[in-house]
């Protein structure tokens, strides 16, 4: 027992010495918490004790969630005694209290509520997913957290280049890598049209299963073809119906963004053509960084 007290005193002395030089910036983001895990990294360490002690000495501020994690006695007070106990937990001199089932339920409920708040009307799926994934560090197999993760993942943009077309025209819409346009912009992945309309252009059709609301991408002219006298077009069809068409591409066309409403579409067809004489055209159109995204709850 005497040895344990000496060890604890040494640890506290080291902790106080570190406090004089250590600068800790408390995060402002609201996330689920566990008692003692003040910094929210899923572990109880000396860093959590330092945060608790510095707050008790009014050297730093903590977020509301961090205060809840530091208030290990549940008395609404955060003192040096709390820091000492967190330090004992981190040194395995004492075990944290076993979480009761109702505490687990409250933790998960709060995580989901805060994820929903972060998601909000702006559909901030990144913030919501971050909260859910932090909660899953504590309860990785919880079905409610998994269901929320799956839901928010529906709003993550999907690159159309990661999908396989289920059918194509006479000529497939090829995917090209690291293409440069006439303005010097380089795109990681692009559809590139180079076949004339007399050959039916190039097209690919994707089954997107009514999962998305918006198609976005950047359209430009491939480098070295800006002086071509040819013209070209891009057409997009949803379930056989034309939903977007631009037919006046020329070599001088500058890069621009497009956004197309694809709500309710199952079969998405993209058709592109560079209007050469018989086959190969002098003009080449790039349709780059094409993504599909759900934007409606």
Q: How confident is the prediction for the chain on average, in pLDDT?
A: 85
Domain 158-293's class? mainly beta
Does the structure show a pLDDT above 90 at 295? yes
Cα 211 to the center of its chain, rounded Å: 18
Distance CA 127, CA 156 (A): 12
Domains in the chain: boundaries: 2-153, 158-293
pTM: 0.66
Residue 70, Cα to own-chain centre: how many angstroms?
29
Q: Give the phi and the psi of residue 161 in degrees, each rounded to 5.
A: -75, -10
- In this structure, what DSSP letter does residue 50 have? H
**pLDDT at 9 (0 to 100):** 52
Model pLDDT, residue 278? 42
Which pLDDT does position 112 carry in this prediction?
Answer: 96
pLDDT class of 281 with cuts at 50, 70, 90: low
pLDDT at 280 over 80: no
Question: Is the predicted pLDDT of residue 108 greater than 50, yes or no?
Answer: yes
Question: Rounded to whole angstroms, how far apart are CA atoms 151 and 129?
Answer: 10
CA dihedral 224, 226, 231, 233 (to 10 degrees): 80
Would the pLDDT of 190 be above 90? yes
In this predicted structure, what is the pLDDT of residue 229?
A: 84
C-alpha 238/C-alpha 209 separation (Å) is 11
Q: pLDDT per residue over 38-61, tens digit each?
A: 998 888 999 999 999 999 999 999
Distance from C-alpha of 102 to C-alpha of 224, rounded to nearest angstrom: 67
């Amino acid at each position: 027992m005497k040895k344990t007290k000496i060890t604890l005193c040494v640890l506290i002395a080291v902790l106080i010495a570190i406090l004089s030089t250590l600068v800790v910036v408390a995060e402002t983001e609201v996330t689920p918490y566990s008692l003692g895990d003040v910094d929210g990294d899923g572990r109880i360490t000396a860093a959590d004790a330092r945060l608790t002690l510095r707050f008790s000495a009014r050297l730093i501020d903590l977020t509301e969630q961090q205060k809840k994690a530091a208030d290990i006695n549940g008395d609404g007070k955060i003192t040096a005694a709390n820091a000492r106990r967190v330090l004992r937990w981190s040194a395995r001199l004492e075990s944290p209290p076993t979480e009761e089932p109702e505490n687990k339920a409250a933790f998960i409920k709060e995580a989901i509520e805060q994820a929903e708040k972060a998601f909000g009307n702006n559909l901030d799926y990144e913030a919501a997913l971050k909260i859910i994934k932090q909660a899953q560090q504590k309860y990785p197999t919880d079905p409610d957290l998994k269901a929320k993760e799956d839901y928010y993942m529906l709003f993550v943009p999907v690159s159309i280049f990661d999908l396989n077309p289920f059918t194509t025209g006479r000529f497939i819409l090829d995917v090209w890598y690291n293409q440069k346009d006439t303005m010097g912009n380089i795109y990681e992945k692009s559809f590139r049209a180079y076949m004339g309309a007399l050959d039916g252009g190039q097209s690919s059709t994707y089954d997107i299963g009514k999962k998305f609301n918006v198609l976005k991408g950047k359209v430009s002219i491939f480098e070295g073809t800006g002086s071509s006298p040819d013209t070209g077009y891009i057409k997009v069809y949803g379930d056989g119906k034309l939903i977007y068409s631009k037919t006046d591409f020329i070599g001088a066309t500058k890069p621009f963004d497009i956004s197309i409403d694809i709500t309710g579409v199952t079969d998405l067809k993209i058709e592109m053509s560079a209007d050469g004489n018989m086959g190969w055209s002098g003009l080449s159109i790039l349709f780059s960084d094409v993504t599909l995204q759900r934007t409606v709850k």
